[in-house]
Amino acid sequence: MTAVIVQLLISGVLLGGLYALVAFGLSLIYGVVRILNFAHGTLLGVAGIAASVIFAKWGLNPILIAALLVPVFFAFGYFMYVFLLRPLRSRNAMQFTVGTVLVTVGLLLILSDLAAFLAGPTPKNIPLPFNAIFIGDVIIGINQLYILIGIAVMTVLLHLFLTRTWFGRAIRAVTQDPVGAQICGIRSHAIHASTVGFGAAIVAVAGVLYTLNYPIDPYVGFELTVKAFTIIILGGIGNLIGALFAGIFLGVAESVTGFVWSSEWAPAVSIILLLVILVVFPKGVLSRRRS
């Protein structure tokens, strides 16, 4: 029984870490640009499918595939903001909010159908050889270790990038006081576009890591976006460590739910958690601690 519990925890931590990577980019975009990007999870699906197609055709190392996809997705996110989202800022607050929701939901549908048309609707992954480490009755896949290392490295690099670089300081300045940041010479629109591009680049790496252990299809995006929203509410906007622990909590909850009841119930866990959080903590999970 102990081995089963440990196996469930390993699976949950792995899945939750991937969810957290998705939430990192979405939290960054909302915290800086104030846009609810419903197409964010779909970008992970597109990145995972692109990675699987590239691997099947050329057999490139997944690290190299991620390096190729990062600038492509950064450019996509950057120009998505410039051409589709920035023009909405000339509208009033209500029209801006509704407009961004409609645009990102439209992108979700377009990207999902386009990926299904080009690569097919069937789930895909990167089929690396399965090698494992046996610790008693516990089986730890080598690919799982690579994914966990990748999640840890990404979390540390993101933290250092946002706290130690000029771009990270510019993001915090624009978030705290857009007018003051512009007076100091920071171009808010350029930071907004770069932030959306940066969030897309993060989710591209998450897509490659995801396909190393799980199959992915073009229509998984909305489900992943809902999970990311749950993690953001639970862990706090802009809080990388909080998002990581919230993602792990959600991943472990799904893993246990799938084992105890049924795998069909696992995706519902994020919805149930989201509803519970909104009812019990209407001002946010950290509101009582702050008060």
In the chain, what are the domains? 2-121+141-290 (1.10.3470)
CA distance 142 to 14: 12
Sequence-separated (6 or more) residues with CB below 8 Å from residue 108: 38, 39, 41, 42, 221, 222, 225
- Which residues are bridge partners to 216 per DSSP? 124
Closest CA to 49 of 205, 225, 218: 218
DSSP class per residue in 166-186: HHHHHHHHHHH-HHHHHHTT-
Angstrom CA distances, 222 to 43, 65, 117, 160, stand at 10, 24, 18, 29
Q: For tokens 């959600």, name the residue.
A: 250
pLDDT at 177: 78
CA distance 130 to 275: 38
| Angle formed at CA 20 by CA 17 and CA 24, multiple of 5 degrees | 140
Closest CA to 66 of 48, 39, 42: 48
Q: To 10 degrees, what angle do helices 40-58 and 62-80 make?
A: 140
Pick left, alpha or beta for residue 186 (phi over 0 → left; psi -120 to 50 → alpha; otherwise beta): beta
Quote the radius of gyration of the chain (alpha carbons, Å).
19
3-state helix, strand, coil in the chain (%, to 5): 80, 5, 20
Threshold 0.85, pTM exceeds: yes
Angstrom CA distances, 13 to 73, 207, 209, stand at 26, 17, 14
Cβ-contact 19, 207 below 8 angstroms: no
pLDDT averaged per 10 residues in sequence order, the chain, 291 residues: 83 91 91 91 95 94 95 97 94 92 95 94 88 79 87 89 89 81 84 94 95 91 90 81 87 86 78 80 55 38
DSSP class per residue in 47-93: HHHHHHHHHHHH---HHHHHHHHHHHHHHHHHHHIIIIIGGGGGS-H
Sequence-separated (6 or more) residues with CB below 8 Å from residue 204: 43, 44, 47, 66, 69, 70, 72, 73
CB atoms within 10 A of CB 5: 12
- Burial (CB count <10 Å: 0-12, 13-18, 19+), residue 259: middle
